[in-house]
Structure 1
């Protein structure tokens, strides 16, 4: 089998498997509950034809684009989707219409698109879903990616599957990357040069909209540990306790990457015997 034939066969295998999955998954929907039915393109928000479908993988991606989503929602109907429950629930807490994203199988995509009827689809950062991209192209829905990123490792992995990624990238109408390296990698993988627009760092949007207050006496005595993951907080807390022994005025703020870990981090701080009050997450 030649290389082009191998690439074509890979795409055909993916499509065939997704059709099989699409036929089987509805059979178990009754036992999986409402969240799983959303992933099958059912039980989501009511239709708002002509609006925007904004998708982010999870709460981190959606949080980084929250300012932009809010601005878009002032001008257009917006439906937000996420692959995770935390992402969906966070978007709802922020006041957006939100549901779980449809699985990349034909029936789920068809049901979701029939109901939502988006005029434009916007993906935050980057996700490669061959059937989703093909379904949007078939309906003439423009596809936009904002704050795209592609690591060297991911690019090497995708380069072995050009039959899957090249059609997805070729169908993107506008893409704003985070950096030059991402632009180069995506172009090598099949993105059309004319789709590139200005670069955008989503995580800078919210800070840019904030006017800093007065410095105050505590600013240079405060350490912010932001976007931390499990295992990192204990190391940071230990270092802070050592530094605080020499400087009792030193303060530490934790902002875990996943908000649901707030209670866990608060318990760790309390267990360290610091005597310092904590603001717990309350389950969010």
Structure 2
């Protein structure tokens, strides 16, 4: 498939996990891809790395301009950069609340702010934000993270309404528990990481975590010109975790 041929895509958080999987997929489907990351290292040769911290507006502006100057246009933005947080509402300090919201929400705003003027000139402009099912599903020990992703959900709908008549489609994906480096780091802090991973897998309706490639596939669908009627869409990629209510497996 070559539905992205001739298009230039910018993927934030593009050096690892879902971001890297997305960058590789878009490149494989014909896009010219730039990966924006704090440490854009070890990228495949066909992906252009650009260093920037999404909490720094000047760095974001410079990164977007670098991509446009190098490739002459910008058509697709994947707002994927984000960080996690664990704990109930009593657990995280004001500083951590500010840091997570700055990365997960305002970071997307900064990228979009500087990308939109260029996207307005594209015949196939699309923004895809990485949300999460915790934006609307109550999950224990995720108060701060859930609040940030709830804001991403609302932001996506507002952006979609603001820019649809400019020819810019805005949508988001909502992964469930995804097999990413963040999950690995979180499990390392548990008393028994192997048992914790087994319990996490067992909690999923399919018995396993979502893969980065599966989320990337959903992002590519929403970013593609082939989904030109999808606007303000929230696409869950969660193994059925939110929508299904399964009975416990029968015991022997």
TM-score by length of 1: 0.36
Larger Rg: 1
Higher helix content, 1 or 2: 1
**More contact order relative to length (CA 8 Å, sep ≥ 6):** 2
